[in-house]
Amino acid sequence: MSVNGETSSITGFDASDHQPAFIFTPSAIEGAPERPAKRRRVGRTSAPDPTKHAQAFRFERLLNGLEDTECVGLREELFKRHWAKTEERIQSILGESNEDTLTKVTSFVQDVAPTEGSGIVPTGFIVTGPNIASQGLLFEQLSERLKTEVNGPVVTLRSGDAANLKAALKQLIRDATNQRAVNEDEGEGFFERDGRKLLNYDLEILHGFVKLHGSKRAIVAFQDSEAFDPGLLGDLIALFSSWMNRIPFVLLFGIATSIDLFRERLPRAATKCLFGAQFDVEQTSSVFESVFLKVIAGSEAPLRLGPALVSSLIERQHNHVQSIQAFISALKYAYMCHFYANPLSVLSDNERDSKSLLKLLQSEHLEAIRMLPSFIKLVENSVEKHEVTLARGLLEDDKVLLREVEKALDSATQRVITILRTMHVLSSAATGPVEKIDLYVRAFKGSLSDSDTVRAVLDSIKRMAPDALIAFIGRITKAVENGSPELDLEGWLGEETEFLKEITDIQGEVTSLVEEAVETGKPVRSQYAIHSQGLRTTVIAQKVQLSYEKSTLSKQDIKYTALIDRMSNLLKEYFTFEHPQDLFLNEVWLYDSLSPYKEVFTPGSRLAIEQSLSAPYHYLPGCKDTGDAFSSSKPATAILYQMYLESGSLINVSDIWTAFFSIVGGEESEGYDERTALMLFYRGLADLKLLGMVKPSRKKVDHLAKSVWKGL
C-alpha cells in the first residue's frame, strides 16, 4: 500500500492505486490480507457489541496531555448528554412544526372521494417553500404517517430516480410492491397474468397488488416536483388518470415555488386530470426562530452561542443555505468543538454542584483559567475598585481563585436567566413585532440598552396616555407572571421584588390620577404629550407656543409627567446589565469561536489552492519567502503557476518551458539537468491541467489557453 508516502508509491507501482474500489486491509498490521470467507465464521461467534464503534476513539487529553482521564471522560459524557437533550428538543420542534401539515394531508388522503369514471386524480399540493433541503424530512414523515394510517402503498419519487417514464414506473412499482412483500409470501402473484410474465413497468402489476391487498389508496408523492421534467410529469399524470378506474391513485406534489407556477409548467391535458387541495408547510424562518429560541436562547440550553457566531450563522442561514438542517449541523459542531477542545467545559456539568466540580480541577486547569480574557477582566476590575489584595490573591493564590470560580459558577445560571427575563420583558413591552434573534445577539453583545427596540419602548412611554400606560404596565406584569414558554422561562412573580413593586406602584398612582381626572373632567396628559401636540398644531413661533403650553400644565399633568419619567428611568435601568462576555468564566457556558465554523462549513477551496501555489512558504518552511516570485526553491508547480499568472490568455508552451528551465536548471550548481527539469515541467503542467487551469488551444501550435484568473 502506498501509505508510506511519495517514494514508495512511485517506486513500487501498487495495483491498489488503480483499482476502482476495494476493502481496506492494512499491510502493516497483518502480513497477508485475510480471506473474507474465513472471517465470516469468526464473526458469528464473537458477540457483536453495538457500542463498540462509538467507543473506538476517545477524546484527546488536553492541557498538554496532562489532563486527568476522569476529566476527559467527563467532557465526552457531557457532550453526549447535552447534545442528546438539545437534539431531542430540536426534533420535537421539527416534528410539531410538520404535525399540522401531516394531519391535514392524511385526512385529505383518507377522505377524498375519487369521482367514478371521470379519470380525475385527487391531488394534494404541498407548498414547502424554497427550502429543498428540508423537503426530505417532511416527505419521510409523511410516508411514515400515511403507511400507518392509510391502507395502501405509499411511494415517494424523487427527480433523480425518474429520468424517463419507464424508470419512474419501474421505481414506482418496485417500491409499492416491496412494502408488503416482506411479510407475505404471495408477493409474486401479481407479476404474472394469464400465464405470461408482465414487464416490470406495467401498471398491471400494481393493479394486481392493489386488488390482492384490497388497498383503498395508492399514494404517489413527488418530492421535488419542479425538478421533474414537465413532459414526464404530464405523461405520468395522464397514465394515472387512465388507470383511475382500477387503481385508486392519490398524488402528492411537493412544491417549492407556487401552485400557479407549477401549473404553468404542466401540459394543459395533465392539469385537467388533477383536482385537489393545497397545504402550506410552516415556513422555515418561523421554525428556525422557535428552534433558535429553544436551544440557544432557552433557559435550559447547556451551551450558549456568542453573538459573533450567531450573527454569522444567521447571515449564512438567510443568504445562503436556508436550511434548518444546516443550522442544526452548525450548532452540533459548536457543541463538539466546545467539549472536545475546551478543558474548562467540565465546569458546565449541571448535575453536579460546584463543590464537586472544583475537586476535579487540576493545577493546569487553574493555569488555564488564569489565561482567560474574562479572568483578566476580573482582575482589572478588582484593581480599579482598589481591591488590590483580591487581585493579587487571584493571581497568586489558588484558594482565592477557587473561591471566585465557585462564586462565578453558582451565579452564572442566575445571571443568564436575568438576561433572558429582560429580553422577554422587552419583547412583551414593545408595541410592534420584535426580531427575537436580533434581540438575543444584542443582549449578549451587551448593547441591549442602546438598541432600537429599547429606544422605541422608552419613546413610546413618553407619549402614552394614562390608560395606555396602565395597559403597558399590565403587559409587563403579565410577562413576569407567565414567563415565556418558548424560552423555557417560568413566571418569576415571586422573585422579582424591586422592579415589580416600583411599577405596580406607578400603576396605582396613575390609576388614581385617572380617577381624579374623570371626576374633574380634565384629561391627564404628560408634558411630552402636550409638547408633541403643541408642535403639531403650531405653524409659527414654536418657542412661544411651548412655554405657553408648559405654563398651563395642571397639577395632575405635572404629577403624571413625573411618573412617566420615573417609569422611563426604571426601565432604562432594568434594560441595562453587565456585558455577558465580561462575566468571569463565561467561556464555560458561552461558545463564541467563529473560525472553526467558517473553516468547516464554508470551504475556500479555490482560495486555499491559489494561496498554497502562490505562497508555498506558508506551508513549507524550506522554501523561504525571498520576495522573488520565481524563486527556484519553490516547488515546480508553484513556479509554473506564477508564470501562468503573468502570461496572457494564450500561453506558448515552448516559451514557458524555456523560462521554467532557466529558473529550475540554469547556471547554478544546484540546478537540475534538462531532462529532470522537463520531468518537473511535465508534472507542473499536468497539475495545472488537473486544476482546470489550462486546456489545449487550437489557435496556434503548442499553445495553451488559460481559463482561470487568480482572485476572480
Partner 1 sequence: MGSGRASHSTNKGQTNGTTPVKRFQGKNLFSTPVKPNSAGDTNETPRLERHADRSARRKSTRTLIERTILGNTSDNDEEDEDIAHHIYDSEDEDEPGQEIEMNGETSASVPATPSKRGRPKGSKNRQKSPTPTRDLPPHEVYFSQNRGGRSKTSDNNLSSLALLDHEEYFALVRSYENPHSVDLDSLQKLYATFFNQWLFELSQDFNICVYGWGSKRSLLMNFAEHIYKAQTDHINNKIVVINGYVQHLTIRDILNTVAAAVSESGAKLGSQPAEMLEKLISTLEEDKTKNVTVMIHSIDGTALRRPTTQIILSRLSSHPQIHLVASADHPSFPLLWDSSLRSTFNFLFHDCTTFQPYTSEMDVVEEVHELLGRSGRRVGGKEGVSFVLKSLPENAKNLFRVLVGEQLAAMDESIGTGFGGADDDDDYDDNDRHTGNFGKNEPGVEYKVLYQKACEEFICSSEMSFRTLLKEFHDHQMIQSRKDVLGTEILSVPFRKEELETILEDITS
Report which secondary-structure segment, H or E, holds 157. strand 154-157
**Residue 257 in the binding site for partner 1 (CB under 8 A):** no
Q: Helix, strand, or coil here: 5? A: coil
CB of 637 to partner 1, least distance (A): 8
User: Grid coordinates representing 263?
Assistant: 401549473
**Residue 655 in the binding site for partner 1 (CB under 8 A):** yes
Question: What is the total count of residues that contact partner 1 (CB under 8 A)?
Answer: 140
Q: Determine the interface stretch with partner 1 among 138-146, 170-178, 415-423, 530-538 (rule: CB under 8 A).
A: 170-178
What is the Cα–Cα distance from 454 to 448, expressed in whole angstroms? 7
> In this structure, are residues 488 and 298 in contact, taking their beta carbons and an 8 Å threshold?
yes
Give the HSE-up count for residue 265: Cα atoms under 13 Å, Cβ half-sphere.
Answer: 15
DSSP alpha helix (H) spans, 483-554:
498-520, 527-537, 542-551
CA 48 to chain centroid, in Å, comes to 35
- Identify which of residues 511 and 697 has a Cβ nearer to partner 1 in the complex: 697
Q: Which of residues 477-496 bind partner 1 (CB under 8 A)?
A: none
Candidates 118, 356, 431, 658: give the one binding partner 1 (CB under 8 A): 658
User: Grid coordinates representing 356?
Assistant: 464537586
- Identify which of residues 135 and 299 has a Cβ nearer to partner 1 in the complex: 135
- Identify which of residues 272 and 598 has a Cβ nearer to partner 1 in the complex: 598
Q: Determine the interface stretch with partner 1 among 121-129, 237-245, 386-394, 647-655 (rule: CB under 8 A).
A: 647-655
**Residue 65 in the binding site for partner 1 (CB under 8 A):** no
- Identify which of residues 336 and 358 has a Cβ nearer to partner 1 in the complex: 336
- Identify which of residues 21 and 539 has a Cβ nearer to partner 1 in the complex: 21
Binding mask 686-705 for partner 1 (x = CB under 8 A): xx-xxxx-xxxxxxxxxxxx
Q: Which of residues 97-156 bind partner 1 (CB under 8 A)?
A: 132-133, 135-136
Candidates 154, 326, 369, 443: give the one binding partner 1 (CB under 8 A): 326
- Identify which of residues 531 and 634 has a Cβ nearer to partner 1 in the complex: 634
Closest CA to 712 of 606, 612, 641: 606
Q: Determine the interface stretch with partner 1 among 62-70, 244-252, 453-461, 680-688 (rule: CB under 8 A).
A: 680-688
- Identify which of residues 555 and 699 has a Cβ nearer to partner 1 in the complex: 699
**279-317 burial by CB neighbour count: b if 16+ within 10 A, else e?**
bebbebeebbbbbbbbbbbbbebbbbbbbbbbbbbbebb
Candidates 43, 189, 474, 508: give the one binding partner 1 (CB under 8 A): 43
- Identify which of residues 169 and 503 has a Cβ nearer to partner 1 in the complex: 169
Q: Which of residues 193-252 bind partner 1 (CB under 8 A)?
A: 224
Candidates 32, 33, 37, 242: give the one binding partner 1 (CB under 8 A): 37
Q: Which of residues 583-642 bind partner 1 (CB under 8 A)?
A: 599-606, 608-610, 612-613, 616, 619-623, 628, 630, 632-633, 635
- Identify which of residues 109 and 688 has a Cβ nearer to partner 1 in the complex: 688
CB of 696 to partner 1, least distance (A): 5
Q: Determine the interface stretch with partner 1 among 210-218, 510-518, 568-576, 643-651 (rule: CB under 8 A).
A: 643-651
- Identify which of residues 274 and 295 has a Cβ nearer to partner 1 in the complex: 295
CB of 226 to partner 1, least distance (A): 12
What is the Cα–Cα distance from 162 to 266, expressed in whole angstroms? 17
What is the Cα–Cα distance from 266 to 29, expressed in whole angstroms? 60
Q: Helix, strand, or coil here: 74? A: helix
CB count, 10 Å around CB of 186? Answer: 10
What is the Cα–Cα distance from 467 to 432, expressed in whole angstroms? 18
What is the Cα–Cα distance from 217 to 153, expressed in whole angstroms? 7
List of long-range contacts for 503-507, beta carbons under 8 Å, 24+ apart: 503/473, 503/476, 503/477, 503/567, 503/570, 504/473, 504/477, 506/469, 506/473, 506/563, 506/566, 506/567, 506/570, 507/469, 507/470, 507/473, 507/474
C-alpha dist (Å) from residue 71 to 52, 55, 362, 368, 394: 21, 16, 10, 14, 23
CB of 346 to partner 1, least distance (A): 17
